[in-house]
Amino acid sequence: MSVDLEVAGGVATIVINRPERLNALDAEAYQALSDAWVRVRDDAAIRVAVITGAGEKSFCVGADLKSFVNAPANLSEFWLTQQGQLLNRGLEVWKPVIAAVNGYCLGGGMTLLLATDMRVSAEHATFGLSEVKRGIVAGNGGTQRVLANLPYPIAMELLLTGEPLDAEQAARWGLVNRVVPREKLMDAALELASKVAANAPLAVQASKELAVRSRDMDLATGLRLEQSLNRLLQFTSDAAEGPRAFAERRPPVFEGE
């Protein structure tokens, strides 16, 4: 398989598994990754996802250009906007996604990173949007999300020069949450995931959706939607379990109901 998915303790671990190609994505891998995101979205047993790349050299370097050279182009596919949906291509996944960046994070790998919610980086990781060096633009949300993730001049330098950032620079500008030694990367990412998975899943998903949608709403509308979702959550069993567990001085057991 070009993409592996395992679930344990409410955490889905997705591994892009083409280390011989630096985890570049060919058509088969793109479809497998799309299927993985749909599984994360739809499987109630999954509360949070961690995505990483196989091996120690690369998280993902984006599209496998060799596999797409001379591929037949059919203009009608341009309007199949819901085909092969990805996290960074518009698929709505309200469960939190954590990236464990284990090396090169370039091109489409970087646009994937920009669509995640939290990021843990190995010390040797490299981040870049090099598409302008190939005569194209950073697709799948690269040009649309970079300004939401980085200060304007830093984002524009990344986007327009095609030059990369190292892990220390990425942490300095808030692109990643933390940088850890290579051997501790997955432990750090899974520890973060387990903290998320321990919380009330419906409240976590509502919190993510509200925060993401706030970018496109005025404050009054956002506050009203926040109030509405809180009112809905008050009728869930998890909303009763949280205060009860606190009063009984025990960890809550949330069921997502």
- The answer on 189 and 123 residing in a single domain is yes
- The answer on 220 and 106 residing in a single domain is no
- The answer on 192 and 243 residing in a single domain is no
Q: Is the pLDDT of residue 188 over 80?
A: yes
> For the residues 196-208, what does the mean pLDDT come to?
97
> Mean pLDDT across the chain, nearest whole number?
94
Q: Residue 72's pLDDT is what?
A: 64
Decide which of 166, 182, 197 is a domain's last residue. Answer: 197
- The answer on 239 and 117 residing in a single domain is no
Residue recorded with tokens 């979702």: 229
Domain assignment present for 64:
yes
- The answer on 209 and 173 residing in a single domain is no
Helix (H, G, I), strand (E, B) or coil at 205: helix
- The answer on 220 and 121 residing in a single domain is no
d(CA 89, CA 219): 26
Q: Residue 89's pLDDT is what?
A: 87
Q: Residue 76's pLDDT is what?
A: 79
**Cα 103 versus chain centre, distance:** 16
The H or E element containing residue 74 is: none
pLDDT category, 95, cuts 50, 70, 90? very high
Q: Residue 83's pLDDT is what?
A: 76
CA of 243: how far to CAs of 200, 207, 231, 239, 246, in Å?
12, 18, 16, 7, 5
- The answer on 125 and 243 residing in a single domain is no
Q: Is the pLDDT of residue 183 over 90?
A: yes
Number of H helices, E strands in the chain: 10, 10
* Count of the separate structural domains present in the chain: 2
Domain assignment present for 37:
yes
**222 in Cβ contact with 213 (< 8 Å):** yes
* Host domain of residue 174: 3-197
Domain assignment present for 256:
no
> For the residues 207-212, what does the mean pLDDT come to?
97
The model's pLDDT over 104-139, given as tens digits with 9 standing for 90+, comes to 999 999 999 999 999 999 999 999 999 999 899 998
- The answer on 125 and 206 residing in a single domain is no
Q: Residue 1's pLDDT is what?
A: 66
> For the residues 224-247, what does the mean pLDDT come to?
96
Q: Is the pLDDT of residue 67 over 70?
A: no
pLDDT category, 78, cuts 50, 70, 90? confident
Decide which of 157, 173, 197 is a domain's last residue. Answer: 197
pLDDT category, 71, cuts 50, 70, 90? low
In this structure, what CATH number is given to the domain that contains residue 13? 3.90.226.10
- The answer on 193 and 210 residing in a single domain is no
Q: Is the pLDDT of residue 69 over 60?
A: no
In this structure, what CATH number is given to the domain that contains residue 205? 1.10.12
Prediction pTM value: 0.94
Provide the 8-state DSSP code for 63.
B
User: Could you give the dihedral angle defined by the CA atoms of residues 58, 171, 158 and 79, in that order, rounded to the nearest 10 degrees?
Assistant: 60
Domain assignment present for 257:
no
The model's pLDDT over 238-257, given as tens digits with 9 standing for 90+, comes to 999 999 999 999 999 999 99
> For the residues 11-34, what does the mean pLDDT come to?
95
Domain assignment present for 33:
yes
- The answer on 184 and 125 residing in a single domain is yes
